[in-house]
């Protein structure tokens, strides 16, 4: 696997007007705050949007963003496999905001925890519940072992089934974010100005 080029928040801020920014977080995360002019194409939907992303990349540079940089690196790898060049934002929107750069928030957008935080909460809760239930029913401890095994598998493969499941929960979906609208915007957006 090749490494994607990365831009620091400072570099991205200087070039923001010349970049097509793709936010690969869940719609709920996107609605809680995103880079100005970013389009929301969740990581799970990236392959469906490949034709439009390829066309946008032909017109100008793509910057892929997520909360911390992990999902954007995965997205860049998917794009690279398809011959689409894209850079990732080092540190993601978390670092962008920490450095004082503005985040756009759609009207009615609500704060949603980052997916990594949601996964930690869900995994920790399930492990704790399995251990507590195991005091009464010894077989319940296997639930904790299953979650632990899933976390190890997740780390080794750099995938996360729990995040995939959590991303489908209602609080991670937002009416303000729509894949069809993002794809249509990609098709009609003119080349960014340098």
What the block records as the tokens of 92 is 């993601």
What 3-state class would DSSP assign to 21? strand
DSSP track, 66-117: -SSSHHHHHHHHHHHHTT---EEETTHHHHHHHTT---B--TT------HHH
What 3-state class would DSSP assign to 184? helix
Q: Quick count: other Cβ atoms within 10 Å of Cβ 182?
A: 22
Residue 177 a catalytic site member: no
Q: Are 84 and 57 in contact (CB under 8 A)?
A: yes
Which residues have a catalytic role annotated? 66
């Amino acid at each position: 696997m090749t490494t994607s080029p990365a831009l620091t928040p400072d570099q991205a801020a200087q070039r923001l007007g010349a970049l097509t920014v793709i936010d690969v977080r869940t719609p709920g995360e996107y609605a809680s705050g995103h880079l100005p002019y970013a389009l929301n194409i969740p990581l799970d939907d990236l392959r469906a949007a490949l034709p439009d992303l390829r066309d946008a990349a032909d017109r100008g540079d793509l910057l892929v963003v997520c909360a911390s940089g992990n999902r954007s690196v995965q997205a860049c790898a998917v794009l690279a496999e398809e011959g689409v060049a894209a850079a990732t934002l080092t540190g993601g929107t978390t670092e962008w905001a920490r450095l004082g750069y503005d985040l756009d928030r759609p009207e009615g957008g609500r704060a949603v925890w980052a997916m990594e935080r949601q996964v930690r909460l869900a995994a920790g809760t399930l492990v704790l519940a399995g251990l507590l239930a195991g005091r009464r029913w010894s077989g319940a401890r296997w639930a904790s072992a299953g979650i632990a095994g899933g976390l190890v598998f997740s780390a080794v493969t750099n995938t996360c089934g729990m995040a995939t499941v959590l991303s489908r929960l209602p609080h991670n979906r937002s009416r303000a974010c729509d894949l069809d609208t993002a794809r249509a915007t990609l098709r009609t957006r003119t080349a960014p100005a340098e």
